[in-house]
Structure 1
Amino acid sequence: MSGIYIHIPFCKQACHYCDFHFSTSMKKKEEMVLAIAKEIQMRKSEFENDPSESEQAKQIVETIYFGGGTPSVLTSGEIEFLIAAVYSNYKVSENPEITLEANPDDLSSERIIELSKSPINRLSIGIQSFFEEDLQLMNRAHNSAEAQKCLEEATKYFDNISIDLIYGIPGMSNEKWKQNIETALSFGIPHISSYALTVEPKTTLNKLIQTGKIAAPKDEVAQEHFAVLVETLQANDFIHYELSNFGKANYFSKNNSAYWLGKKYIGIGPSAHSYNGISRSWNVSNNSIYLKSIQENKLPNEIEILSTADRYNEYVMTGLRTIWGVSLDRIETEFGSEYLEYLNKQAQKFLDDDLVYIENNILKPTKKGKFLTDGIASDLFYLNLE
């Protein structure tokens, strides 16, 4: 077993680019914490009854991840209550990675010290940018001073820290983007997750672009920023282990790596997704319906049984995004020769264009192809098998 993801569906305010599930009303926060704890207990049998796991591996939780939303809106007591619920219902490994996503405005010196005394041993901090104008454009709840102050304090008490940075922001030059990266590096952060600003349909950002109040992000700018990011971080001993993730040795995210390597996980809370190797499920993205269902002892989720083609496509997508690549041996063993022949045929044009290469029978993107990974993967998908 790999891990448990806990979705905390609350935020102080809505970022303009975000399309994740959350509420800005905290009225049901205490009720939600109790419901999440109950779901943790309700789903323990999913590990106990898994015939694919060995006796020793059954119910072993290696990672606990608080995502959202903004998990740092919970009190330390609420966080520890939920961690205790996991420990009382599952077998947890001796040294689990326990991550809390947090926003800088929630990380006062006192709060950081408080968290350092809790079971939390990894912080993932949503910095996004160190420039005031970028934070205002994105409608972030924190300012530039808070971003830097929280890192000054957090690095005193936590060794394992990741920060999020966003590139491709309208008006951001390559030099300004590099300053963002250099500022992050000045704090000795061992892990950085970085994403291009994307425009999702139902977001405020999309409305602002449509009405001409904000310029649309440009793909060519994002591609240039990505190249600067890769070059700068690799020069500073970061390993580019997944398309959007960079970590120093021994600081890869165990939680996220488990997703990309196809390990099993349970997602707890509204909108959370789960995966067990043969099916995928997701909870309802509605706080009121979620609470009502849990109170009635019903799991508010939908389940999809994955076809061979689904599992192949998922492996190709996640494999190409990581340093582990797509094993052609595994394709043949797990999915069959028909899939391997199809993959080789579809990959040929990308091999010819120097966007992917094969080494030790593993397919990986080249430096030139990394930014285009998702598009390449979609061309390798098998869409009409079953």
Structure 2
Amino acid sequence: MSGIYIHIPFCKQACHYCDFHFSTSMKKKEEMVLAIAKELRMRKIEFENEVIETIYFGGGTPSVLTTSETEFLISEVYKNYVVAENPEITLEANPDDLSSERIIELAKSPINRLSVGIQSFFEDDLVMMNRAHNSTEAKKCLEEATQYFDNISLDLIYGIPGMSNEKWKQNIETALSFGISHISSYALTVEPKTALNKLIQTGKIAKPNDESAQEHFAILVETLDANDFVHYELSNFGKANYFSKNNSAYWLGKKYIGIGPSAHSYDGVSRSWNVSNNSIYLKSIQEDKLPNEIEILSVVDRYNEYIMTGLRTIWGVSLNRIETEFGSEYLDYLHKQAQKFISDDLLFIDNGILKPTPKGKFLTDGIASDLFYLN
């Protein structure tokens, strides 16, 4: 089973923390939709022996597309690829795009999962992040969307400067009050070329505090665990049967094609990525050229990637798979590198699977980098 990711590179306004590829000008939106459809057709040969299990609209802000534009792109997938009987089709959406009428439209479309970018239910946080929606819109869209969609995920950001533990708990409790079955939650990070970085450098916003973020993470894990959510990936929590199939496929190393500017693809042996420039992307597609770069993954690359993704999930890193796929040299290296983390109660081995302990979960990415094989 494989997946298709479609990157919609447009946003109404730029969130202060975001470093994803997007444009706030909608002038070329219709042209972009046609180009994305053409790229889907151009690349169908890559997946002629694959069955598509997930279609994911990410961005940017995919909900800036009309429902008919979204349906057109889904129809292009069905025309050119073999699609599973009940695929998971996700649309990332912002609350300000989810009017009552739009929610009903989407519910009648093939979209069967919404991922809503809430980030916070507090007005001051939304203003600080320069989100396009307000707190009232966040709550109203969830009230209505839950009447039409069974499968809804929402995003929350923790570690926001000045956010108390109590305020963070209220954010989580508000999310739970809507009966949501999936939550993705990320620490606020400061990326180099963002407005947030400039605001911090000029002293207009305080720098995020690692200690606060760690406390928020612990509160998140504890609260969601008490509400029957499974912490199946470092930043993702889902109730039984509500894990994101799209994201799980990525962490489990399944193949996927990324369509649109800046989108990444993976076929098990190579990784490719499209140019992060709307004009160049459009020109290339019009000239029947794929605007991407390809990297063939070495054994070391594939080992390191498995360590990174495996440790982030409940599935962990299989020592048997390390030996079978990469050899005893890599297995011995992993045992040696992992020993100090096992001794510090940050990692443990259970039935031949290496996993982070509850104490080690927040530190997973740093631990993984210490387990990487260096040439």
Percent identical pairs in the alignment equals: 87
Counterpart among 125, 128, 134 of residue 143 in structure 1: 134
* Matched AA of 1:119: P
1:68 and 2:59 are equivalent in the alignment? yes
Match of 1:19? 19
* Matched AA of 2:218: A
Counterpart among 135, 147, 150 of residue 156 in structure 1: 147
Match of 2:87? 96
Distance 1:84 1:189 in 2: 29
Distance 2:183 2:85 in 1: 26
Deviation at 1:59, TM superposition (A): 2.5
Distance 2:265 2:189 in 1: 24
* Matched AA of 2:284: S
* Matched AA of 2:136: A
Post-superposition Cα deviations, 1:158-190, rounded to whole Å, max 9, x if no partner, equal 000000000000000000000000000000000
Counterpart among 160, 169, 174 of residue 160 in structure 2: 169
Deviation at 1:383, TM superposition (A): 1.6
Post-superposition Cα deviations, 1:191-212, rounded to whole Å, max 9, x if no partner, equal 0000000000000000000000
Counterpart among 246, 250, 267 of residue 259 in structure 1: 250
Distance 1:118 1:103 in 2: 18
1:82 and 2:73 are equivalent in the alignment? yes
Match of 2:50? 59
Post-superposition Cα deviations, 1:60-119, rounded to whole Å, max 9, x if no partner, equal 100000000000000000000000000000000000000000000000000000000000
Counterpart among 107, 111, 125 of residue 116 in structure 1: 107
Post-superposition Cα deviations, 1:221-266, rounded to whole Å, max 9, x if no partner, equal 0000000000000000000000000000000000000000000000
CA RMSD between the two structures: 0.4
Distance 1:231 1:33 in 2: 42
Match of 1:182? 173
Match of 2:293? 302
Runs of 5+ unmatched residues, structure 2: none
Match of 1:241? 232
SS at match of 1:225: helix
SS at match of 1:216: coil
Normalising by structure 1, we get a TM-score of 0.97
SS at match of 1:222: helix
Match of 1:53? none
Distance 2:235 2:47 in 1: 30
Runs of 5+ unmatched residues, structure 1: 49-57
* Matched AA of 1:195: Y
SS at match of 1:237: coil
* Matched AA of 2:365: D
Match of 1:8? 8
Give the alignment of 1:232-381 within 5 angstroms: 232-381=223-372
Normalising by structure 2, we get a TM-score of 1.00
Match of 1:36? 36
SS at match of 2:168: helix
Distance 1:233 1:109 in 2: 29
SS at match of 2:57: strand
SS at match of 1:150: helix
Distance 2:55 2:152 in 1: 15
Distance 2:225 2:104 in 1: 32
Match of 2:195? 204
* Matched AA of 1:353: D
Post-superposition Cα deviations, 1:137-168, rounded to whole Å, max 9, x if no partner, equal 00000000000000000000000000000000
Post-superposition Cα deviations, 1:104-137, rounded to whole Å, max 9, x if no partner, equal 0000000000000000000000000000000000
Deviation at 1:41, TM superposition (A): 0.3
Match of 1:195? 186
Distance 2:170 2:374 in 1: 43
Runs of 4+ in 1 over 4 A off after TM superposition: none
SS at match of 1:124: strand
* Matched AA of 1:128: Q
Distance 1:25 1:90 in 2: 31
Deviation at 1:2, TM superposition (A): 1.3
* Matched AA of 2:347: V
* Matched AA of 1:24: T
Give the length in aligned residue pairs: 375
Distance 1:303 1:383 in 2: 22
1:133 and 2:124 are equivalent in the alignment? yes
* Matched AA of 2:5: Y
Distance 1:341 1:259 in 2: 26
Distance 1:180 1:15 in 2: 19
* Matched AA of 1:30: E
